[in-house]
Amino acid sequence: MAKFLFYDDKVINLLLEDEKPTGGAAVQAYGWIKGLLALGHEVYVLTKPHHNQALKEDCQGINVVADFDRGKGVRWLRWVYYRLPHTYKALKQVQPDYLYKGIPSWESFLIGLMCMRLNIKFIQRISNDFLIDRRFLKSHSRLHRFFQNLGFKLSDFILCQNDYQFGVISKKFPGKKVYKLSNPIVLAASTASADDREGGYIAWLGLFQHQKNLKLLYEIAAAIPNEQFVIAGNAIPKVDSETLRFLDKLQELPNVEFIGFLKRHEVPSFLRGAKYLLNTSHYEGFSNTFLEAMANGTPILTTDKVNPDGLIDKKGVGLVYRDAKDLLCQVTSVTPESYTAMSNSAVKYVMSHHDHKHQASLLAGLLENEKVSKGMVAT
């Protein structure tokens, strides 16, 4: 059995009894962590200090190691005299076989150097499509991209979520071990039938930020006044002006209800009570909310921009729309029979392709075989 270290400053938010909001990369890392633990591997998490806050009972088997305090020290100088030495010391003490980093960034270069020095295999996961193409430069500098690419070059394994990521990375970094491996989810049996769900609301779940395209959410809710929309989530720090504007406009609609942040154990019941899960994002990699919805038999409504490997329509687990008018047309044409078929297909698909134990077994298998050439991983 191997020793894994997950480097993620947000995953601690999911492990605490007093749970806090976090992004999809941390949710995904949690799935890998639970899967690897179930298979008997030793798992550590290097994450932000939690100052003795209690962990959830089912997270007690995870070894939490405190990373540097991001508020400590003099800006910029602290990297040299505090942050880098602190992280290097932690890696040296744990001495894992593998280090997993869920989001590529300029820090990947520094982590890669440390791993090379300590003879640790570095796994870089790609969490979102925009991180590897020109869209990245809309919010990040070319210098950031330069060091991020150096991080990719220092990695031993690059894990992609979909065919698009696999194609871009394979072409850009020839000779690297690049794999496509689908996101894991900790599965539980669905407790609602398609009939239960058909009279429910349309659910929207996520962080309020530019990527999630609340403008389109507003347009859809306004175009379908006979449907009730229930929105779960909260805003990220320093939210953009467009998101704030359409949050205000959404709150004025009589068919929209905001219910705030949901803890992980509250998400399944929220989705089981929904007729559909609505995705309005500009871009994603492979949204964890898709898996959470499918695990509860809730069909997905998503744009043609967010349909990883075309699975939503190919697998018959939801509807793919172009705009609000197109979505209205498609939703009104759904029959009870076609709805039940989508619901059943969703459960079948996620059970067959995303179980956390199965995906963790695939991950461990490809890592253990050092002679494996780069390529796709069957999922």
User: How far is 46 from 110, CA to CA, in rounded Å?
Assistant: 15
User: How far is 366 from 361, CA to CA, in rounded Å?
Assistant: 9
Name beta bridge partners: 158: 124, 178
Query: pLDDT digits over 297-311, tens only?
Result: 999 999 999 999 999
Alpha helices, DSSP H only, in the chain? 12-15, 24-38, 77-78, 84-94, 107-118, 142-154, 163-172, 194-198, 214-223, 241-251, 267-272, 288-295, 311-314, 324-332, 336-353, 356-368
State the helix-helix crossing angle for 356-368 and 24-38, rounded to 10 degrees.
Answer: 80
pLDDT for 61 equals 84
Q: Are strands 157-160 and 42-47 parallel, antiparallel or unpaired?
A: unpaired
Question: What are the residue ranges in the chain where pLDDT is below 50?
Answer: none
**Is 173 in a helix, a strand, or coil?**
coil
Residue 289's φ and ψ, nearest 5 degrees, are: -65, -30
pLDDT for 372 equals 52
Structure tokens at 269: 């019941």
User: How far is 166 from 181, CA to CA, in rounded Å?
Assistant: 10
Alpha-carbon Rg for the chain in angstroms: 21
* Dihedral angle sign, alpha carbons of residues 259, 319, 303, 130: positive
Query: pLDDT digits over 267-278, tens only?
Result: 999 999 999 999
Whether this model's pTM surpasses 0.85: yes
If you ran DSSP here, which 8-state letter would residue 287 be given? Answer: -
Q: Are strands 256-260 and 121-125 parallel, antiparallel or unpaired?
A: unpaired
Give all domains of the chain, ordered by start, each with its CATH number.
3-184+355-368 (3.40.50.2000), 194-353 (3.40.50.2000)
Structure tokens at 144: 């950031």
